[in-house]
Protein backbone atom coordinates (compact mmCIF):
# COMPACT_ATOMS: atom_id res chain seq x y z
CA UNK A 1 0.00 0.00 0.00
CA UNK A 2 1.19 3.50 -0.77
CA UNK A 3 1.59 5.77 2.25
CA UNK A 4 2.67 9.31 1.33
CA UNK A 5 5.43 10.90 3.41
CA UNK A 6 5.23 14.34 5.05
CA UNK A 7 6.70 16.13 2.04
CA UNK A 8 4.20 14.55 -0.32
CA UNK A 9 1.33 15.36 2.01
CA UNK A 10 2.42 19.03 2.11
CA UNK A 11 2.54 19.08 -1.69
CA UNK A 12 -0.88 17.48 -1.93
CA UNK A 13 -2.19 20.24 0.32
CA UNK A 14 -0.83 22.87 -2.06
CA UNK A 15 -2.61 21.07 -4.90
CA UNK A 16 -5.84 20.88 -2.90
CA UNK A 17 -5.54 24.62 -2.40
CA UNK A 18 -5.53 25.07 -6.16
CA UNK A 19 -8.99 23.60 -6.63
CA UNK A 20 -10.70 26.90 -7.49
CA UNK A 21 -8.03 27.52 -10.14
CA UNK A 22 -8.69 24.07 -11.60
CA UNK A 23 -12.39 24.90 -11.75
CA UNK A 24 -11.70 28.11 -13.70
CA UNK A 25 -9.19 26.51 -16.04
CA UNK A 26 -11.52 23.60 -16.73
CA UNK A 27 -14.32 25.92 -17.62
CA UNK A 28 -12.08 27.82 -20.02
CA UNK A 29 -10.81 24.53 -21.45
CA UNK A 30 -14.27 23.12 -22.10
CA UNK A 31 -15.53 26.39 -23.55
CA UNK A 32 -12.84 26.25 -26.24
CA UNK A 33 -13.05 22.56 -26.95
CA UNK A 34 -14.82 21.13 -29.95
CA UNK A 35 -15.76 17.62 -28.94
CA UNK A 36 -15.07 15.17 -31.75
CA UNK A 37 -15.30 11.40 -31.90
CA UNK A 38 -13.13 8.92 -33.78
CA UNK A 39 -15.92 7.31 -35.80
CA UNK A 40 -17.20 10.72 -36.94
CA UNK A 41 -13.80 11.73 -38.28
CA UNK A 42 -13.09 8.35 -39.84
CA UNK A 43 -16.56 7.93 -41.37
CA UNK A 44 -17.09 7.81 -45.12
CA UNK A 45 -18.16 11.25 -46.41
CA UNK A 46 -21.93 11.56 -47.01
CA UNK A 47 -23.07 9.89 -50.24
CA UNK A 48 -19.95 7.74 -50.34
CA UNK A 49 -20.15 3.99 -50.16
CA UNK A 50 -18.34 2.92 -46.95
CA UNK A 51 -16.57 0.02 -48.68
CA UNK A 52 -15.37 2.26 -51.50
CA UNK A 53 -14.22 4.77 -48.88
CA UNK A 54 -12.06 2.19 -47.09
CA UNK A 55 -10.73 0.88 -50.39
CA UNK A 56 -9.73 4.39 -51.52
CA UNK A 57 -8.20 5.09 -48.12
CA UNK A 58 -6.04 1.95 -48.33
CA UNK A 59 -4.87 2.83 -51.80
CA UNK A 60 -3.89 6.36 -50.85
CA UNK A 61 -2.31 5.18 -47.59
CA UNK A 62 0.07 2.96 -49.52
CA UNK A 63 2.09 6.09 -50.29
CA UNK A 64 2.72 6.84 -46.61
CA UNK A 65 6.46 6.57 -46.01
CA UNK A 66 8.08 4.09 -43.65
CA UNK A 67 9.32 6.79 -41.22
CA UNK A 68 5.78 8.21 -41.01
CA UNK A 69 4.45 4.71 -40.31
CA UNK A 70 6.99 4.22 -37.54
CA UNK A 71 5.96 7.57 -36.06
CA UNK A 72 2.30 6.56 -36.26
CA UNK A 73 3.07 3.31 -34.46
CA UNK A 74 5.03 5.00 -31.69
CA UNK A 75 2.48 7.80 -31.29
CA UNK A 76 -0.31 5.23 -31.07
CA UNK A 77 1.51 3.28 -28.39
CA UNK A 78 2.25 6.44 -26.43
CA UNK A 79 -1.46 7.32 -26.49
CA UNK A 80 -2.47 3.80 -25.54
CA UNK A 81 -0.29 4.17 -22.45
CA UNK A 82 -3.13 6.25 -20.99
CA UNK A 83 -3.90 3.87 -18.08
CA UNK A 84 -0.37 4.46 -16.77
CA UNK A 85 -0.90 8.21 -16.79
CA UNK A 86 -4.38 8.09 -15.43
CA UNK A 87 -2.98 6.21 -12.47
CA UNK A 88 -0.19 8.75 -11.89
CA UNK A 89 -2.68 11.61 -11.76
CA UNK A 90 -5.38 9.76 -9.87
CA UNK A 91 -2.98 8.82 -7.04
CA UNK A 92 -2.52 12.45 -5.98
CA UNK A 93 -5.61 14.24 -6.96
CA UNK A 94 -8.16 12.55 -4.74
CA UNK A 95 -11.68 11.52 -5.53
CA UNK A 96 -14.04 14.23 -4.40
CA UNK A 97 -12.68 17.40 -5.85
CA UNK A 98 -12.36 19.42 -8.99
CA UNK A 99 -9.09 17.63 -9.43
CA UNK A 100 -10.81 14.31 -9.97
CA UNK A 101 -13.18 16.05 -12.38
CA UNK A 102 -10.19 17.26 -14.34
CA UNK A 103 -8.47 13.87 -14.28
CA UNK A 104 -11.63 12.21 -15.53
CA UNK A 105 -12.24 14.80 -18.24
CA UNK A 106 -8.62 14.62 -19.36
CA UNK A 107 -8.77 10.82 -19.41
CA UNK A 108 -11.99 10.87 -21.45
CA UNK A 109 -10.36 13.20 -23.99
CA UNK A 110 -7.12 11.26 -24.17
CA UNK A 111 -8.92 7.95 -24.59
CA UNK A 112 -10.14 9.15 -28.00
CA UNK A 113 -6.55 9.73 -29.14
CA UNK A 114 -5.53 6.10 -28.83
CA UNK A 115 -8.89 5.02 -30.25
CA UNK A 116 -8.74 7.15 -33.39
CA UNK A 117 -5.13 6.17 -34.13
CA UNK A 118 -5.89 2.50 -33.57
CA UNK A 119 -9.00 2.68 -35.77
CA UNK A 120 -7.11 4.58 -38.45
CA UNK A 121 -4.38 1.94 -38.46
CA UNK A 122 -7.06 -0.71 -38.80
CA UNK A 123 -8.96 1.02 -41.63
CA UNK A 124 -5.90 2.09 -43.61
CA UNK A 125 -3.74 -0.99 -43.01
CA UNK A 126 -0.61 1.18 -42.80
CA UNK A 127 0.73 -0.95 -39.95
CA UNK A 128 0.77 -4.62 -39.07
CA UNK A 129 -2.02 -4.37 -36.54
CA UNK A 130 -1.49 -7.66 -34.68
CA UNK A 131 2.13 -6.62 -34.07
CA UNK A 132 1.03 -3.18 -32.91
CA UNK A 133 -1.52 -4.70 -30.55
CA UNK A 134 1.03 -7.10 -29.10
CA UNK A 135 3.42 -4.20 -28.47
CA UNK A 136 0.63 -2.35 -26.72
CA UNK A 137 -0.13 -5.41 -24.62
CA UNK A 138 3.50 -5.73 -23.52
CA UNK A 139 3.72 -2.03 -22.77
CA UNK A 140 0.61 -2.15 -20.58
CA UNK A 141 1.76 -5.30 -18.86
CA UNK A 142 5.19 -3.86 -18.09
CA UNK A 143 3.66 -0.98 -16.09
CA UNK A 144 5.21 2.43 -15.84
CA UNK A 145 6.86 3.43 -12.60
CA UNK A 146 9.19 6.37 -13.20
CA UNK A 147 11.18 7.45 -10.17
CA UNK A 148 9.24 10.71 -10.04
CA UNK A 149 5.88 9.06 -9.60
CA UNK A 150 5.99 9.76 -5.86
CA UNK A 151 6.28 13.52 -6.34
CA UNK A 152 3.07 15.26 -7.41
CA UNK A 153 4.96 18.39 -8.52
CA UNK A 154 7.18 16.38 -10.83
CA UNK A 155 4.08 14.77 -12.30
CA UNK A 156 2.90 18.23 -13.42
CA UNK A 157 6.26 19.24 -14.84
CA UNK A 158 6.34 15.97 -16.74
CA UNK A 159 2.79 16.32 -18.09
CA UNK A 160 3.52 19.91 -19.24
CA UNK A 161 6.56 18.73 -21.21
CA UNK A 162 4.90 15.56 -22.44
CA UNK A 163 1.71 17.23 -23.73
CA UNK A 164 3.80 19.64 -25.78
CA UNK A 165 6.08 16.84 -27.03
CA UNK A 166 3.11 14.75 -28.20
CA UNK A 167 1.56 17.81 -29.83
CA UNK A 168 4.73 18.40 -31.87
CA UNK A 169 5.10 14.75 -32.76
CA UNK A 170 1.46 14.33 -33.90
CA UNK A 171 1.46 17.58 -35.86
CA UNK A 172 4.71 16.80 -37.70
CA UNK A 173 3.68 13.20 -38.42
CA UNK A 174 0.42 14.56 -39.84
CA UNK A 175 2.27 16.98 -42.11
CA UNK A 176 4.51 14.23 -43.50
CA UNK A 177 1.92 11.48 -43.85
CA UNK A 178 -0.90 13.60 -45.28
CA UNK A 179 1.07 14.26 -48.44
CA UNK A 180 -0.39 11.02 -49.82
CA UNK A 181 -3.36 10.43 -47.58
CA UNK A 182 -5.13 13.58 -46.31
CA UNK A 183 -7.36 11.87 -43.72
CA UNK A 184 -4.39 11.16 -41.45
CA UNK A 185 -3.62 14.89 -41.53
CA UNK A 186 -7.13 15.65 -40.27
CA UNK A 187 -6.91 12.94 -37.60
CA UNK A 188 -3.57 14.12 -36.27
CA UNK A 189 -4.41 17.81 -36.34
CA UNK A 190 -7.47 17.10 -34.15
CA UNK A 191 -5.29 15.17 -31.71
CA UNK A 192 -2.46 17.73 -31.76
CA UNK A 193 -4.84 20.60 -31.03
CA UNK A 194 -6.15 18.79 -28.00
CA UNK A 195 -2.61 18.15 -26.73
CA UNK A 196 -1.99 21.88 -27.09
CA UNK A 197 -4.97 22.64 -24.85
CA UNK A 198 -3.83 20.09 -22.26
CA UNK A 199 -0.40 21.71 -22.33
CA UNK A 200 -1.99 25.09 -21.60
CA UNK A 201 -3.77 23.58 -18.59
CA UNK A 202 -0.77 21.83 -17.06
CA UNK A 203 1.72 24.62 -17.57
CA UNK A 204 -0.70 27.02 -15.86
CA UNK A 205 -1.17 24.63 -12.93
CA UNK A 206 2.55 24.36 -12.46
CA UNK A 207 2.87 28.16 -12.67
CA UNK A 208 0.46 28.38 -9.73
CA UNK A 209 2.37 25.71 -7.81
CA UNK A 210 5.55 27.71 -8.40
CA UNK A 211 3.84 30.81 -7.01
CA UNK A 212 2.71 29.03 -3.87
CA UNK A 213 5.68 26.82 -3.12
CA UNK A 214 8.60 28.17 -5.18
CA UNK A 215 11.47 26.31 -3.51
CA UNK A 216 9.99 22.84 -3.72
CA UNK A 217 8.51 23.49 -7.16
CA UNK A 218 11.92 24.62 -8.43
CA UNK A 219 13.58 21.46 -7.09
CA UNK A 220 10.97 19.24 -8.77
CA UNK A 221 11.30 21.07 -12.09
CA UNK A 222 15.11 20.82 -11.94
CA UNK A 223 14.81 17.05 -11.59
CA UNK A 224 12.54 16.57 -14.60
CA UNK A 225 13.54 19.21 -17.15
CA UNK A 226 17.01 17.90 -18.14
CA UNK A 227 15.38 14.99 -19.98
CA UNK A 228 12.06 13.22 -20.12
CA UNK A 229 11.93 9.56 -20.81
CA UNK A 230 8.99 8.65 -22.93
CA UNK A 231 6.89 6.02 -21.17
CA UNK A 232 7.54 3.38 -23.82
CA UNK A 233 11.26 3.45 -23.21
CA UNK A 234 11.50 -0.19 -22.21
CA UNK A 235 9.45 -1.35 -25.15
CA UNK A 236 11.37 -3.49 -27.65
CA UNK A 237 12.73 -1.32 -30.52
CA UNK A 238 11.68 1.90 -28.79
CA UNK A 239 15.08 3.53 -29.22
CA UNK A 240 15.33 2.62 -32.88
CA UNK A 241 11.84 3.93 -33.52
CA UNK A 242 12.69 7.18 -31.72
CA UNK A 243 15.85 7.40 -33.85
CA UNK A 244 13.78 7.11 -37.05
CA UNK A 245 11.44 9.84 -35.83
CA UNK A 246 14.38 12.13 -35.10
CA UNK A 247 15.95 11.50 -38.50
CA UNK A 248 12.62 12.19 -40.20
CA UNK A 249 12.47 15.61 -38.50
CA UNK A 250 9.27 14.65 -36.65
CA UNK A 251 10.53 14.90 -33.09
CA UNK A 252 14.01 15.02 -31.63
CA UNK A 253 16.32 16.71 -29.15
CA UNK A 254 15.96 20.12 -30.85
CA UNK A 255 12.20 19.97 -30.40
CA UNK A 256 12.67 19.07 -26.76
CA UNK A 257 15.11 21.97 -26.35
CA UNK A 258 12.51 24.37 -27.76
CA UNK A 259 9.85 23.01 -25.38
CA UNK A 260 12.16 23.50 -22.38
CA UNK A 261 13.03 27.05 -23.48
CA UNK A 262 9.35 27.91 -23.87
CA UNK A 263 8.52 26.61 -20.41
CA UNK A 264 11.46 28.41 -18.77
CA UNK A 265 10.08 31.58 -20.32
CA UNK A 266 6.44 30.90 -19.45
CA UNK A 267 7.27 30.05 -15.84
CA UNK A 268 9.73 32.98 -15.73
CA UNK A 269 12.14 30.68 -13.93
CA UNK A 270 14.97 33.24 -13.94
CA UNK A 271 12.76 35.92 -12.36
CA UNK A 272 11.67 33.92 -9.30
CA UNK A 273 13.29 35.56 -6.27
CA UNK A 274 13.31 35.12 -2.51
CA UNK A 275 14.43 31.52 -2.89
CA UNK A 276 16.37 29.63 -0.26
CA UNK A 277 19.67 27.99 -1.12
CA UNK A 278 18.08 24.76 -2.31
CA UNK A 279 15.66 26.71 -4.52
CA UNK A 280 18.42 28.90 -5.95
CA UNK A 281 20.55 25.89 -6.83
CA UNK A 282 17.61 24.28 -8.59
CA UNK A 283 16.92 27.54 -10.44
CA UNK A 284 20.53 27.69 -11.66
CA UNK A 285 20.35 24.08 -12.71
CA UNK A 286 17.21 24.73 -14.78
CA UNK A 287 18.73 27.80 -16.42
CA UNK A 288 21.68 25.65 -17.54
CA UNK A 289 19.48 22.98 -19.13
CA UNK A 290 19.08 24.57 -22.62
CA UNK A 291 22.84 24.85 -23.17
CA UNK A 292 23.24 21.22 -22.16
CA UNK A 293 20.44 20.10 -24.47
CA UNK A 294 22.01 22.08 -27.29
CA UNK A 295 25.26 20.16 -26.80
CA UNK A 296 23.41 16.84 -26.73
CA UNK A 297 21.61 17.71 -29.98
CA UNK A 298 24.87 18.80 -31.66
CA UNK A 299 26.59 15.63 -30.57
CA UNK A 300 23.77 13.41 -31.76
CA UNK A 301 23.73 15.10 -35.16
CA UNK A 302 27.50 14.90 -35.58
CA UNK A 303 27.63 11.25 -34.66
CA UNK A 304 24.63 10.22 -36.72
CA UNK A 305 25.45 8.08 -39.77
CA UNK A 306 23.23 6.81 -42.54
CA UNK A 307 21.46 3.69 -41.34
CA UNK A 308 19.03 1.05 -42.54
CA UNK A 309 15.96 0.17 -40.49
CA UNK A 310 13.16 -2.34 -40.58
CA UNK A 311 10.35 -3.00 -38.12
CA UNK A 312 7.89 -5.86 -37.80
CA UNK A 313 5.11 -3.35 -37.15
CA UNK A 314 5.92 -1.73 -40.52
CA UNK A 315 5.96 -4.90 -42.64
CA UNK A 316 9.69 -5.60 -42.12
CA UNK A 317 10.26 -3.34 -45.13
CA UNK A 318 13.81 -2.06 -45.17
CA UNK A 319 14.42 1.65 -45.53
CA UNK A 320 17.51 3.82 -45.31
CA UNK A 321 17.80 7.14 -43.55
CA UNK A 322 20.50 9.80 -43.35
Q: Which residues bind Fe ion (CB under 5 A)?
A: 79, 110, 113, 163, 195, 198
Partners of residue 320 on adjacent β-strands: 308
Taking the C-alpha atoms of residue 235 and residue 129, their distance in angstroms, rounded to an integer, is 16
316: left (phi over 0), alpha (psi -120 to 50) or beta: left
Question: Smallest distance, Å, CB 111 to Fe ion?
Answer: 9
Question: Smallest distance, Å, CB 194 to Fe ion?
Answer: 6
Q: Are 135 and 34 in contact (CB under 8 A)?
A: no
In the bound state with Fe ion, the residue whose beta carbon lies nearer, of 163 and 213, is: 163
Radius of gyration of the chain (CA): 21
In the bound state with Fe ion, the residue whose beta carbon lies nearer, of 99 and 309, is: 99
Question: Smallest distance, Å, CB 51 to Fe ion?
Answer: 30
Helix axes 214-224, 6-17, angle to 10 degrees: 110
In the bound state with Fe ion, the residue whose beta carbon lies nearer, of 166 and 283, is: 166
In the bound state with Fe ion, the residue whose beta carbon lies nearer, of 158 and 309, is: 158
**Per-residue CA distances from 63 to 57, 68, 82, 288, 296 (Å):** 11, 10, 30, 43, 34
**Per-residue CA distances from 131 to 28, 73, 83, 162 (Å):** 40, 10, 20, 25
Question: Smallest distance, Å, CB 127 to Fe ion?
Answer: 18
Question: Smallest distance, Å, CB 100 to Fe ion?
Answer: 17
Question: Smallest distance, Å, CB 151 to Fe ion?
Answer: 20
Question: Smallest distance, Å, CB 154 to Fe ion?
Answer: 18
In the bound state with Fe ion, the residue whose beta carbon lies nearer, of 113 and 190, is: 113
Taking the C-alpha atoms of residue 238 and residue 192, their distance in angstroms, rounded to an integer, is 21
Q: Are 128 and 313 in contact (CB under 8 A)?
A: yes
Taking the C-alpha atoms of residue 114 and residue 185, their distance in angstroms, rounded to an integer, is 16
In the bound state with Fe ion, the residue whose beta carbon lies nearer, of 110 and 255, is: 110
Q: What are the two backbone dihedrals, phi and then psi, of residue 152, each rounded to the nearest 5 degrees?
A: -60, -30
In the bound state with Fe ion, the residue whose beta carbon lies nearer, of 84 and 198, is: 198
Amino acid sequence: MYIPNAETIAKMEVLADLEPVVDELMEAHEAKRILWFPSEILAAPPDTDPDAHVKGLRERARGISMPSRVALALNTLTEEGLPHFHRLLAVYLGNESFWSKWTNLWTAEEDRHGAILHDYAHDSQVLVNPVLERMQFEYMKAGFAPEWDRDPYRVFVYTSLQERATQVSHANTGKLASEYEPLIGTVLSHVAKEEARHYVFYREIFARVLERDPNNAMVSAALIMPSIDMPGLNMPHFREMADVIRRAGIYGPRDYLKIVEDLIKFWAIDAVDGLNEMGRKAQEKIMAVPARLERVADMMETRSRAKTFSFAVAFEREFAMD
